[in-house]
Amino acid sequence: MQLHKRDVVDAATRILDTYGIADLTMRRLARELDVSPGALYWHFTNKQRLLGAVADRVLRPALVDPPAGWRAGITDVCEKFRDALLSHTDGAELVSASLAAGQSEAMAQILALLTAAAADAGVERENAELAARTVVYYVLGFTADEQSRLQWDAAGAQLPDEQSVLSTDPNRRFMFGLRLLIDGIAAHNRAEIELL
């Protein structure tokens, strides 16, 4: 029976959701699909490419047209981005790894949406992508931290008292940091104008 790329990504996503990123290896995946590792390498020449394809699957629900207006656009993209990461075990860790490896097409699209929003806000062309990356680092860092706590809670691990306070109202906490970044992008624009 022919092995389709899509079946490989399906199986990899199942391993991720059930066991976490540490168990997502080419060997384990080949066993799960009952094929030889060579059959996998036909579709994915290395593990980075496989992780990139799984990251694309995780991020797909975040790829919708954002609303008009750069502030609303950044907010909407980031809320959907965080929701997508939280929907899969170790989602934030997986996407962070794919960002660094430059292997996720969906991550590139999210960066492009945020870059366009920063440009709309008046950030110069050569800095708009840096602004977009700053927002992405924040979303990934916040969500990785949030997800670790959720997964430890689910595993019944004891966290220091201070940590449980941090679990309260994560949406408000997420929006606070995002608002700082949006205000910073707006201020950057003002600062440039003041220099003219």
Contact residues for its own copies (CB under 8 A)? 96-97, 99-103, 127, 130-131, 133-134, 136-138, 140-142, 144-145, 148-149, 152, 159-160, 162-163, 173, 176-177, 179-188, 191
Least distance to its own copies from the beta carbon of 10, Å?
25
Quick one: how far is CA 18 from the chain centroid? Answer: 19
Least distance to its own copies from the beta carbon of 191, Å?
7
Least distance to its own copies from the beta carbon of 125, Å?
13
Least distance to its own copies from the beta carbon of 103, Å?
8
Least distance to its own copies from the beta carbon of 46, Å?
9
- Output 1 or 154, the one with its CB closest to its own copies: 154
- Output 64 or 187, the one with its CB closest to its own copies: 187
- Output 116 or 186, the one with its CB closest to its own copies: 186
- Output 76 or 146, the one with its CB closest to its own copies: 146
Task: Identify residue 102 by its one-letter amino acid code.
Answer: G
- Output 20 or 184, the one with its CB closest to its own copies: 184
Angle in degrees, 0-180, between the axes of helices 70-86 and 125-154, rounded to the nearest 10? 30
